[in-house]
Structure 1
Amino acid sequence: MTELPGLLRGFDPRPSVVAPAATVAEYLLPSPHERWAVLARDELTEPSPPVSPAKRRWLYRHGFRARAAHLYDFETYGPEEYLSDAARYVGAYYLNGPWRDAIDNKLLCHLLLSGFDEHRPSVYGLLKGGRLHPIDNSALPRSDGGPLAGVVARPENSVPSAVDGTDWVLDRLERDRLVCKRFKGGSGKQVLILASKDGEYTVNGDPRSEGELRERLGKLDDYLVTEYVTQAPYAADVYSPSVNTMRVVTMYDEESGEAFVPAATHRFGTARSGALDNFSQGGLSVGVDRETGRLGAGIQYLPPDLPEEFERHPDTGERIVGREVPGWEAIKADLLAIADHLSYIPYIGWDLVVTDAGEFSIIEANNNTSALIQVHEPLLREDRTRRFYKRHGVL
């Protein structure tokens, strides 16, 4: 399950041929083999800096995509210390079993976290068929007519019943910024950050007229409308146009009966990524020391350009290296408590926003985590992490 050459041999390299062929193969092949088609599609259609044929063959033999030649430090670490792309696409994808769909479904994941309201942004409703269907109601009626406690006590945020979605959003924008995002999907794709000021609207920072915004909202289906989370000053100081999130991976160790953090990164938006901080769109990925919360250097990778490393933010000039995530110990402890509570879902990549010292909001969770998180440090250097993947049949 680790070698790539046989998978890629014989493909027509043209994206117009590869993408449809991979989609057909994905539907026809049985699990988990359909994931090989997804891996082949991504390798053959996504841009990458040049890699020599000899280096590409070496990478394929070890289970890596060509981009690993530029992202991973194979001179310092051996390929066996990195989680390969083959292992991630095929083995790790199925690690959570049937719960993978619940984690990748943003609405179901939000409901799974109902016991941790202090770490959940409000989800006002789901846009579907032009209507906004309420999600986080402040109270539900009991059979005796009283309120049912323990739902989400945010009366000012609740949607009483399904209403016209566009009208509700525009009315709400007079007071708050909002986020609209597809109930499934990752890498910041199809995320809309909506704002209004003095009658002017913006979508992901770009000006839009009311008519343009209404047209855009009218086309959204199965989109969640959520609270816009305000980040802590340390993150805004580095780059304020985007909400700068952390990606923290947790694994539940059945041997010790507790969760642990094998990797953590911080993302910062840039002028290239716009209002979002996603690494795949030109944002910075910054390594985080898991013990101290101290930040390392930022990496920007937007192929076909080669990766670049920054000690200071490329647009603001603010220093990144040496900054600390405020209250990191408390953040890590609370996140591990949540991971322990969800021990039946042993492998989660959390996207969170630090809102104050020791406080955070979970933007979403991910069933799998990008192997690019290893650009700062190989995942398999630690025995505990390696044992976890072996125990679950990934290695």
Structure 2
Amino acid sequence: MGIVAPNGIGTEEYWAATLAGKSGIDVIRRFDPRRYPVRVGGEVLAFDAAAHLPKRLLPQTDRMTQHALVAAERALADAGLEPGKHDEYGLGVLTAAGSGGFEFGQREMQKLWGTGPERVSAYQSFAWFYAVNTGQISIRHGMRGHSSVFVTEQAGGLDAAAQAARLLRKGTLESALTGGFEASLCPWGLVAQIPGGLLSRATDPHRAYLPFDAEACGYVPGEGGAIMAVERADTARERAAASIYGEIAGHASTFDARPGTGRPAGLARAIRLALDEARVNPDDVDVVFADAFGVPALDRAEAEALTDVFGSANVPVTAPKTMTGRLYAGGAALDTATALLSIRDSVIPPTIGTGAVAPALGLDLVLHQPRETRIDTALVVARGAGGFNSALVVQRHH
């Protein structure tokens, strides 16, 4: 795996920060946020694209793509997977993205209206596109097999990983890179998010994002994500893969009806279907990585789904995204990587910020400090704007 997150660049740096409760959420620094009602975000500030990528790629790519390219390279290195030694048509790239290269687009719009159309970059034709991460990773590493992009917002990282696993099981692919990235913390990107009314307007970074708390006031936007190398177990064994974090065991996705129709939400059904595919019972799940919207009504809906499946406070629940913000398409991919690290090290990372769980929610939320316990099975839950629900089960490799 390869990780670029607001609280750490690189898998071990991110993981150490997460276990230490170190947050990457702060007042936005890359532009002056004082004119906006939302002033807090999870920014990747220590990232130096020029130190990691060829110079020719820098003017072609948005920040989210630069993050994704670095994470992909690290994932391949971590897996000991050299694309040039494999059939290029057996290697695929499946990523999630929603907004595309907003910051790149903003710069080119400023050129268009500020200095004239002749100054607009030709790379604008694709740098803005939500499929560009998949394309750039595929091109850079010669991975010419089945490739696609999933536009289901926060749920996308889970949907992409599950589809990669399906293609591997069918034999369509030999190996794949999967994950998700987003980077819309620029003025244009921020104003596109504000009208939804779900962003936290708190000015104190420590109190801005409080999922499942009685004082929850919205979520904090963030940037970053994760890329993971996925392959069949027999293939990994045959080539003596450098590191195996775990297995994708089950997945399901559902779609909610439009509010007001009276039809039930589909999150609990997605969880049950994912557990069924993994052939595990609710009692077998050792930890749930929550979607954790930080919006009271949405937190309550998620808690109801979890208690519906697991009972009241019967499974530890955590939301390490309280240290990064919601990363949109990158969020569930990062949660999946974090779940696999939890399995590797037998520890549940904490939820920070939240002071105490609202009693009516009935959740055993891991707060403030990591909880050491053996983890064999983890469930990752994600909801995407517009009604998408997704659940992914990952397990210890046997």
Bigger Rg, structure 1 or 2: 1
Q: In proportion to residue count, which structure has more helix?
A: 2
Superposition TM-score, scaled by structure 1 size: 0.26
Superposition TM-score, scaled by structure 2 size: 0.26
Q: In proportion to residue count, which structure has more strand?
A: 1
Choose between structure 1 and 2 for higher RCO, CA contacts under 8 A separated by at least 6 residues: 2
